[in-house]
Structure formats: structure tokens, C-alpha cells
Amino acid sequence: MIIAIDGPAASGKSTLARALARRLGLTFLDTGAMYRAVTLAALERNLSPAEGAECAALAATLRLGFDPEGRVLIEGEAGEPAIRSGEVTRHVSEVAAHSGVRRALVEAQRAVAAAAVEAGGGVVAEGRDTTSVVFPEADLKVFLLASPAVRAMRRAAEEGRPELASAYEADLARRDAHDSQRADSPLLEVEDAVRLDTDTLSPEAVLDRAAALAAARRP
Ligand code: CDP
């Protein structure tokens, strides 16, 4: 079974996808972590995030994997917490806009899903473009929504810095705009996605709804 969770920055995609994968016994696939991993590796190699061809060549050759908890591995080494640094966050949308980077990572994401299905399981994939581009034939597509203020508050609380909520709101708005306006695979709410507004729902309530939808659609 393939489930795709889409939506804007900090809408709760990771929280839901990770919990849903655990509940259903599926593999959690964090596509954003892969774009962050390529961005981190590019910065470490002094590549410019603006250089599409160089970033694409890196994305095609960098060995990415996942540990059993679904945390990204870069050349076999833990990508966390370095992939969540402010510097990576500032540059990731620019790196993710290059078509060559997307081609390489989408191929890798489909390979993870194919292997999981082959083994009798499946994936819960999260990321902007998972419902529209990576897995258009997913058994279940969910589009998570939350207002900018709530998203910024959650992200700041997650990092133990609630006082930074308004600064985060500006950063999220900038990334949303960049992700929605890019030519290749913009953030898009597809017609057949089920929309869940998380402003008024607790994480448990979102999980229960998604799990019920998944149970109804399990092939
Ligand atoms: O959780 P958060 O929204 O902060 O970000 P993320 O899921 O780690 O993704 C970071 C960035 O990677 C996004 O802002 C997008 O620019 C890019 N991304 C993408 O282009 N396509 C995906 N499937 C996932 C992430």
C-alpha cells in the first residue's frame, strides 16, 4: 500500500506520516530529509545552491539511505541533526527547485516504495509533490493544512524556542512561496487528496482520521 501525505511547510506531515507508518506497519519515507541531505552535502562541498547541474550531479551520486526509524543516512552516516540546521533550511528550497535534483530523488523515492511493496508492505511518504508527482497512483492521498501562525508556533515549540515563532512565520511563508511558484513540481493540492485541517485537530485526531481512511482503502 502507498500513502502520500502532502502539504506546506510545518503542516504536520512528518508527525502524521511517522505515526501512521508505525500504526499500519509500513515504511516511513521522509522525502524532505532527502532534499535536506543533498543541500547539506552541497554546502559541505562548497557547491552553490544556485548551481543546478552541480547539485543534480551530487544528487545522482550521493548514497542516501534510511535507518530502521526512517532517519536519513548520507553515505552511511546519520544526517540528523545537521540536515535541520538553519543554514540547510535557508537553502533547501533553492536546491529542491532544480529539475535534475528532483529527477534523481524521485527515482530513489520510487525505488524505496517498490522495494517495500515487493516485500509485502508499503510506504507512508511525506513531502510536497508526493501526491502530485512521486506517487500519483497512491492508494490514499492526504493534504494537510494549517494556518501560518499555527505552523510557525508548532515549529518553534518543537525546537524549544517559542519566542522565535514570528521569525519562523516569515521563513515558512518564504519557503511556501518558493515551493508553490517553482516551475518543476510546485506544491499543489491535487483533486483526489483528502484535505485535513490540523488547526482544530490534535495530532491524535489527525492520525485517527488518516488511519480510518487508510483502513477503508487498503487493497
Ligand atoms: O518539514 P519542513 O516543511 O520544514 O520541510 P521538509 O519536509 O524537511 O522539506 C524541506 C524543503 O525540501 C521544502 O521546503 C521543499 O523546498 C523541499 N521538498 C521538496 O521540494 N519536495 C519534497 N517532496 C519534499 C521537500
For a mutational test of ligand 1's pocket, the pick from 18, 31, 35, i.e. the residue with the most ligand atoms closer than 8 A to its C-beta, is 35
Omega of the bond leading into 68 within 30 degrees of 0 (cis): no
Q: What is the pLDDT of residues 166-203, one digit of tens each?
A: 999 999 999 999 999 999 999 999 999 999 999 999 99
Q: Which residue has the cell 519566542?
A: 163
Q: Which residues line ligand 1 (CB under 6 A)?
A: 9-10, 14, 31-32, 35-36, 92-93, 96, 127-130, 175, 179
pLDDT of residue 100: 98
Mean model confidence pLDDT for the chain: 96
Look at residue 137 in the predicted model and tell me its pLDDT. Answer: 97
φ/ψ (deg, to 5) at 22: -65, -45
Each residue's pLDDT tens digit, 85-101: 999 999 999 999 999 99
Question: CA torsion 108→128→152→178, rounded to 10°?
Answer: 100
Q: State how far the Cα of 148 lies from the Cα of 39, in Å rounded to an integer.
A: 24
Average pLDDT of span 26-49: 98
Q: How far apart are CA 28 and CA 104, in angstroms?
A: 19
Supply the pLDDT for residue 219.
Answer: 74
Percent share of the chain, pLDDT over 90: 95
